Structure 1
Amino acid sequence: MVRVQPFEVEQWMNRLENTPGALNIAETCAASVSIDDLVQLCTDKDLPGPLSTSKKLTYGAITGSQTLRQRVASLLDRGLSTSEVESTSSSATPLPADNILITQGAIAANFLLFYTLVGPGDHVICVYPTYQQLYYVPESFGAEVSLWKLKKENGYVPDVKELEGLVKDNTKVIVLNNPNNPMGSTTPKSVLQDIIAFARQRDIIVFADEVYNPLYHSLPSDQPAPPSILTLGYKKTVATGSMSKAFSLAGIRVGWVASRDESIIEAVASARDYTTISVSQLDDQVASYALSEPVLRPLLERNLNLARINLEILSKFVEEYESVCSWAKPTAGTTALIQFSKGGKPVDDPSFVLDVLEKTKVLFMPASPCFGLGKDFKGFVRIGYVSETEVLEEGLKALGRYVEENLL
């Protein structure tokens, strides 16, 4: 029997996110939008609406509609990274729509990918910290997993030199997460290229969870946003993503697996026949509309601006209470890890989270159970700061009062 470790961050969220009156700054999606919001954002008022009410609701296109798969392929090819859609120079040819498989969110994409790729006798290298699914699921399928630990002194960017000490003869997959959850750090293109070169020499698959791409909102002016892993000219690359985080549409449950290797897509599609068969036609239509050029540009501009504004608000909070909290300021994504201390010692973050929620209604996640193994990340909490600005401001104001009364 396959035994899966409890998915701590999801269980914590499930238990607490519906707390009456909660000021939720634990949510990791850019502030959600409605279908009406998408229509208002659209710059082409002649564009047909997102839903066809006359279309028969069959299973639809099993791998995803041609329109949606082509728009996802274009998204990955162009390496969207700013409020403008720019082409990314690449040695790779354009990604065909047939190399995209639409899934029910990135969480299903990741699970199916590991189910397809790894098993007993395989070895996986996974960046850490990251979303718990990325290292526990391959382990549950019998693979040995080595954690590639990100270090503060390296800006929480993977150190490629360390791969030599992690790789084994049976290494099947190197797992990345870019932008990183929960750190909000960015792995630059140069590092991605070095990882590709390492993997190519050993015929290892490189899998990147890119669910927060393209929210590279706060990089230094001299650092360009990295493209998708699929643009770097190596066939044995795989990327997953979704409409949830960067595109504010978690409610439609649309994600994807994309690969330069057609055999990987075929194998994942075959495995998915035993699970969901296809994605809802309605969800597919909404996602296709959101990724159409007249909607995509303003939607991304909205979310990038929201991330920049809110990150500065959070930064001012950390600066104000620097005697009891510290962090590595994110450059991308929607999440930040902040360590709180009292009397010079890290707080017990699970107890801290529950006490803050009880006394202030402010909700965020404890890092040590949700992202740490053993004593890693003691005293850290994960805050999702790309909520509606008013929610973040109100939440941090209440949290500030708590800090003054309980930690200072």
Structure 2
Amino acid sequence: MVKFEHFAVERWMDDYETKSTHNLAETCCASISLDDLQALSEVKGLSLLSHSAKMTYGEIPGLKSLRTNLANLYSSKTSTPLPAENILITPGAIMANHLIFYSLVGPGDHVICHYPTYQQLFDTPRSLGAEVDLWKTSPEKNWSLDIDELEKMIKKNTKLIVINNPQNPTGAVVTKSNLEKLVAIASAHNITVMSDEVYRPIFHGIGPMDKEFPPSILSLGYNNTIAVGSLSKAYSLAGIRTGWIASRSPEMIARIMNARHYTTISVSQLDSAVASYALAAHTIHALIGRNIKLAKNNLEILDKWVSDHREFCDYVKPVAGTTAFIRFKRDSKPLNSETLCRRLVEEEKVLWVPGSHSFGPEFKGFVRIGYVCETEDLKAGLDKASSWLKKEVATLPLDE
């Protein structure tokens, strides 16, 4: 029997999400309705799916218009267009990730995983019998990956390198030069690189004209690369449960498709129609523009809050994504983040995620805050947390 570890961050959300009035643990850009989506679009009043359409399984790999829109995004500013056939649609990115691991790794394989990150990215390959080593980053190095360390981690049986770019929970990015070095190393050893890119393209601290602006992993000329994306995080549409797998390798897609037959068959026609509309040229630019503007504005609020409370917290300011990893302390010693977060939600209804509980025991004092919610909710939640911390910080236990 496959043994899964408890999914710490998801269990925390299950336990406390419905008990909070200010959810600053959410990692999606503030959600929108279908009315909101159509208001953002240049095409108004478009029926997302014909009411007379038969509710069959639909196109098995995924709605062609959706895969074409995605292929256009991945083909932008590259010399080699990505065929729509190289994309599979999945019920969310979480299923995409699972299918990749299920298809590519097993007992006897070695996986290297960017860390800290979403627990699924290292615990699922472990559950399948693979040996997993964590490629650790630290706030002292601005959460950047050490490429020299990667060279030392590679083994004869290394099958897969997993990165999360932009990174959950820190908001850091793997820069273009580091991506190029990573791909060169992987190519030399014939290792597949999987990049969870669900927070792409929410870049607010680095712009496309910056020489280190990170491209998608599919843009670097190496066939054995896989990108995972989703409508949940950057596109404000978590409720339609639509994700995808894209690769330059048709053989890789065929292999994953074989596994997909066992789990998915197809994705809802209704969800796919909404996703296709959101990613079409007439809508996507306004949608992403809305979310990047929201992220920039809210990060300014959070950054000022951290600065105003620097006597008991600090962080590496995020440059992308929707989350910040903030370290709380008293007299330079880490607070017990699980107690902090539990008391905060129980006493003030403000939900944060404790780092040591949800991302690894070494992250003592760390808390993940999702800040790309509605601005007024962010302000209200931070105000409540501020008042509470000033009264209660002396009573919180340390985590030594």
Q: Same fold, TM exceeding 0.5?
A: yes
TM-score (norm 1): 0.94
SS in 1 for 2:160: strand
Match 1:313 to one of 301, 307, 312: 301
The equivalent of 2:397 in structure 1 is none
What is the distance in 2 between the residues matched to 1:186 and 1:392? 23
Which range moved further: 175-184 or 143-152?
143-152
**Superposition pairs of residues 34-73 of structure 1, within 5 angstroms:** 34-45=33-44, 48-73=46-71
SS in 1 for 2:377: helix
Post-superposition shift, 1:225? 2.7
Instruction: Kindly provide the CA deviation profile for residues 288-321 of structure 1, in whole angstroms up to 9, marking residues without a partner as x.
Output: 0000111101000000000000001000000000
The equivalent of 1:399 in structure 2 is 385
Contact 1:77–1:228 (CA<8 Å) still a contact in 2?
no
**Superposition pairs of residues 256-405 of structure 1, within 5 angstroms:** 256-372=244-360, 375-405=361-391
Instruction: Kindly provide the CA deviation profile for residues 42-92 of structure 1, in whole angstroms up to 9, marking residues without a partner as x.
Output: 1233x73323211111011111011000111112222xxxxxxxxx2x45x
The equivalent of 1:167 in structure 2 is 154
Contact 2:356–2:364 (CA<8 Å) still a contact in 1?
yes
SS in 2 for 1:206: strand
What is the distance in 2 between the residues matched to 1:232 and 1:392? 37
Q: AA paired with 2:344?
A: V
* CA spacing shift, 1:400–1:223, aligned 2, 3 Å: farther
The equivalent of 1:81 in structure 2 is none
Contact 1:105–1:254 (CA<8 Å) still a contact in 2?
yes
The equivalent of 2:179 in structure 1 is 192
What is the distance in 1 between the residues matched to 2:359 and 2:63? 35
2:121 is the counterpart of 1:123: no
Contact 2:177–2:212 (CA<8 Å) still a contact in 1?
no
What is the distance in 1 between the residues matched to 2:227 and 2:10? 22
**Superposition pairs of residues 149-168 of structure 1, within 5 angstroms:** 149-168=136-155
Contact 2:22–2:377 (CA<8 Å) still a contact in 1?
yes
2:123 is the counterpart of 1:136: yes
Q: AA paired with 2:32?
A: V
Q: AA paired with 1:14?
A: D
Contact 1:25–1:364 (CA<8 Å) still a contact in 2?
yes
SS in 2 for 1:138: helix
Post-superposition shift, 1:224? 5.1
Post-superposition shift, 1:22? 1.8
**Superposition pairs of residues 212-223 of structure 1, within 5 angstroms:** 212-219=199-206, 222-223=210-211
Contact 1:23–1:395 (CA<8 Å) still a contact in 2?
yes
The equivalent of 1:84 in structure 2 is none
The equivalent of 1:6 in structure 2 is 6
Contact 2:64–2:84 (CA<8 Å) still a contact in 1?
yes
What is the distance in 2 between the residues matched to 1:241 and 1:400? 35
Instruction: Kindly provide the CA deviation profile for residues 125-164 of structure 1, in whole angstroms up to 9, marking residues without a partner as x.
Output: 0011011000000010000001100122332121111112
Contact 1:49–1:289 (CA<8 Å) still a contact in 2?
no
**After the TM superposition, which parts of structure 1 deviate over 6 Å for at least 4 consecutive aligned residues?**
none
Instruction: Kindly provide the CA deviation profile for residues 328-382 of structure 1, in whole angstroms up to 9, marking residues without a partner as x.
Output: 100000001111112332111111101011221100111112111xx31111110
What is the distance in 2 between the residues matched to 1:304 and 1:116? 34
Q: AA paired with 1:236?
A: N
SS in 2 for 1:248: coil
SS in 1 for 2:134: strand
Instruction: Kindly provide the CA deviation profile for residues 143-194 of structure 1, in whole angstroms up to 9, marking residues without a partner as x.
Output: 0001100122332121111112100000001101000000100111111011
Post-superposition shift, 1:223? 4.7
What is the distance in 1 between the residues matched to 2:323 and 2:50? 35
Post-superposition shift, 1:405? 0.7
Segments of structure 2 that go 5 or more residues without pairing to the other structure are 395-400
Q: AA paired with 2:141?
A: N
* CA spacing shift, 1:69–1:294, aligned 2, 3 Å: same
SS in 1 for 2:282: helix
What is the distance in 2 between the residues matched to 1:384 and 1:151? 19
What is the distance in 2 between the residues matched to 1:361 and 1:268? 42
2:1 is the counterpart of 1:15: no
What is the distance in 2 between the residues matched to 1:328 and 1:222? 19
What is the distance in 2 between the residues matched to 1:130 and 1:326? 20
**CA root-mean-square deviation:** 1.3
Contact 2:176–2:211 (CA<8 Å) still a contact in 1?
no
Aligned-pair identity in percent equals 52
What is the distance in 1 between the residues matched to 2:364 and 2:324? 15
2:14 is the counterpart of 1:27: no
Match 2:169 to one of 165, 175, 182: 182
What is the distance in 1 between the residues matched to 2:330 and 2:141? 27
SS in 1 for 2:177: helix
